């Protein structure tokens, strides 16, 4: 079995957000996700990449194909060294925003993923991990 592939992409500009979407699509197709599931994970990736850029002041994402038994999935780990999120529960609430966005990014990304983990330390940064399984 070949080793799982992992890409680390920077998120420093709007163009990088487009590249994150493209890399996510490539992995989603690779593991044979349905068109709807591809669309969901790419959309979630796009929301989180934009959060990393707009709220985290930029950062990076690691995209990898993961395996659990016979199941394969795509996992994305977004990391920034931004101001952090003081109240995660509030940040997950729909339509709550501190940056003039629609406030759907975090909650929406959670709904579009099979797995969602978030850790954030004010003053240190934020890490969000999502996965979508076939």
Partner 1 sequence: MDRIPILKLGGALIVTIQVDMHDRLAMALEEDLTNRIVSTGARGVLIEISALEIVDSFIGRMLDNIAAISRVLDAETVVVGMRPAVAITLVELGLTLTGIKTALNVERGMALIQARLDEDGDLGNARATSEE
Tokens for 78? 């977004």
Closest distance of CB 3 from partner 1, Å = 29
Closest distance of CB 113 from partner 1, Å = 10
Query: What is the widest separation between alpha-carbon atoms in the chain?
Result: 46
**Sites of contact with partner 1 (CB under 8 A):** 14-15, 17-18, 21-22, 25, 35-36, 38-40, 42-43, 46-47, 50, 94, 101-102, 104-105, 107-108, 111-112
Closest distance of CB 106 from partner 1, Å = 11
Of 105, 102, 34, 125, the C-alpha closest to 74 is: 34
Closer to partner 1 by CB, 98 or 121: give it. 98
Four-CA torsion 56, 24, 73, 34, nearest 10 degrees: 130
* DSSP type of residue 7: E
């Amino acid at each position: 079995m070949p080793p799982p592939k992992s890409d680390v992409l920077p998120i420093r500009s709007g163009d990088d957000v487009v590249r994150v979407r493209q890399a996510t699509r490539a992995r989603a197709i690779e593991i044979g996700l349905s068109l709807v599931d591809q669309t969901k994970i790419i959309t979630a990736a796009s929301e989180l990449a934009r959060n990393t850029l707009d709220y985290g002041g930029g950062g990076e994402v690691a995209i990898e194909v993961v395996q659990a038994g016979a199941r394969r999935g795509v996992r994305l780990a977004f990391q920034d060294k931004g101001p952090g999120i003081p109240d995660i529960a509030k940040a997950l609430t729909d339509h709550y925003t501190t940056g003039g966005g629609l406030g759907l990014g975090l909650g929406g990304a959670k709904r579009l993923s099979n797995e969602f983990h978030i850790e954030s330390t004010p003053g240190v940064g934020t890490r969000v991990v999502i996965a979508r399984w076939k």
